[in-house]
Structure 1
């Protein structure tokens, strides 16, 4: 019983350290959303405890991923969740399940969890991320969406939003209300030193 308790505590510690590294070392480093990072950590700990306890009753790996599928279908329906947050939720769940039910030794488990965190860290570095940010905007000056007025449209958006807008994508046009939904791509202030000229064909 002592060995089982020690193994459980050790794996729980590895699980918490791995998920905390993923959530705060990778996700929070760029997104600065402590609520989501904390929720991911608690989510991972909860999955580990449930899975580890059920594993003691001859639970197979298939059952573990079936449990993961149930959690995935929930999709945190109380709030909208982005593709990036869904990806981190998947990684958190994967780490919790692997730590709880895998038969790897401690060194291999640490190496695998570390590899997952390392890949997430590399993918989210500034060298692999687009320097642009996007924003959805409802726009009422519908005459500016014509291709020949693309420069006027971008200048108007720059003046009204204060953002360094570089391109605009039309998502939806409502001629009844004379409004249009735009997806605006812009350079954040910290990278404005790399601002480029307005492209001649900025409307996609």
Structure 2
């Protein structure tokens, strides 16, 4: 009589190794290369925001591993779409994500999902075309068509006497002199008459100018 026993290659019902490890390593390498090109060499060279580098890389890799793992499970299309929708509505509670950063976040998630869920029905050539097309489109928009990125920043302005419409040009000249930036336009926000200050949203070309490391929100449009 033969005694049944668990195979040596398993621990608590979990196998130590299977053939899916090799596709995982290959797809992970492809995904990591794509993320490096997109985040480090496209996004960062324009935005210069180090805080999003960590976020994008981690969200991209977590999405990849999650989708690759769920692909091996029997989940229906509705659950998969619901999971993707959760990622699509992500936002930080402490600071809203600007529209350009949100677009890059969606690109990171989308590319990671493509690289993780590609099956034998999708050839390597097709996966390469999808990744390459998105990278080329981003590169074209960033470096060819959108050479100038208008950036905005909120500052606290103490010359409240210059916020009147008839003194707009004088206010622009004063802000340019004090910031060293070539201002495209200025929008007036909240006005505090008790402290004699106002919030100004200044717009300038971010690609050719720098403005320290201020704490106000900025956006490339």
Sort the TM-score into its range (normalised by shorter chain): 0.7 to 0.9
Question: Using a 3 Å threshold, how does the CA distance of structure 1 residues 53 and 190 change in structure 2: closer, same or farther?
Answer: closer
Match of 1:97 in 2: 113
CA shift in 2, pair 1:43/1:171, >3 Å: same
1:58 counterpart SS class: coil
Q: How many residues align?
A: 191
* Shift of residue 123, structure 1, vs aligned partner: 1.6
Q: 5+ residue gaps in structure 2?
A: 1-16, 210-221
- The worse-fitting range, judged by mean Cα deviation, of 14-23 and 34-43 is 34-43
Counterpart in the other structure of 1:59: 75
Whose Rg is larger?
A: 2
TM-score by length of 1: 0.80
In the aligned structure 1, how far is the partner of 2:51 from the partner of 2:156?
28
> Are the counterparts in 2 of residues 164 and 188 from structure 1 also a CA contact under 8 Å?
no
Structure 1 unaligned blocks of 5 or more: 192-204
**In structure 2, C-alpha distance between the alignment counterparts of 1:35 and 1:176, rounded to whole Å:** 35
Structure 1 residue 109: Cα displacement: 0.6
Query: Structure 1 residues 177 and 126, CA, compared in 2 at 3 Å: closer, same or farther?
Result: farther
SS of residue in 1 equivalent to 2:154: strand
What's the CA shift for 1:180? 2.0
Q: 132-141 or 21-30, which moves further after superposition?
A: 132-141
The TM-score with structure 2 as length reference comes to 0.74
**Structure richer in helix, relative to its length:** 1
> Pairwise CA RMSD of aligned residues?
2.5
Change (3 A) 1:93 1:62: farther
Distance 1:79 1:131 in 2: 21
**1:9 has 2:25 as partner:** yes
The reply on whether 1:111 has 2:129 as its aligned counterpart is: yes
What secondary structure does 1:89 align onto? helix
